[in-house]
Amino acid sequence: MSRWTPKNLPGGGNSRWNQRNAHHILEAKHARAWGLNESDLPAVNLSRRDHDRYHDLLRNEFKTVSRRNQGQPLSKLQVKQVYQRVYQAHPDWLDAIEPFFGN
């Protein structure tokens, strides 16, 4: 899979469609926490419905893991495991974010 960022998604990064529905496969908050450049994060263009669905799945899964971690920052492994659960139907997405975990 080629690594798409919001700026080079099919249709061009300046279109309203891409600005509203580009889904960073790895959320920008993790890039910032790990000192990475968020403009390098891979993204896919999703319908509004799918974008909202994945956003909600990730948010809920991260809340659950954070509660279990008693408020301590999550390790890269814990973050990776959340993405593996949420994106299990999208192995190409998992391949695209693998390099960001430093394995």
41-96 pLDDT, tens digit each: 898 888 888 988 999 999 999 999 999 999 888 999 999 999 999 999 999 999 99
Q: Are 22 and 38 a contacting pair, CB within 8 Å?
A: no
Q: Rounded CA gap, 23 and 43, in Å?
A: 5
Nearest to 99 by CA among 30, 53, 44: 30
Burial (Cβ within 10 Å: 0-12, 13-18, ≥19) of residue 101: middle
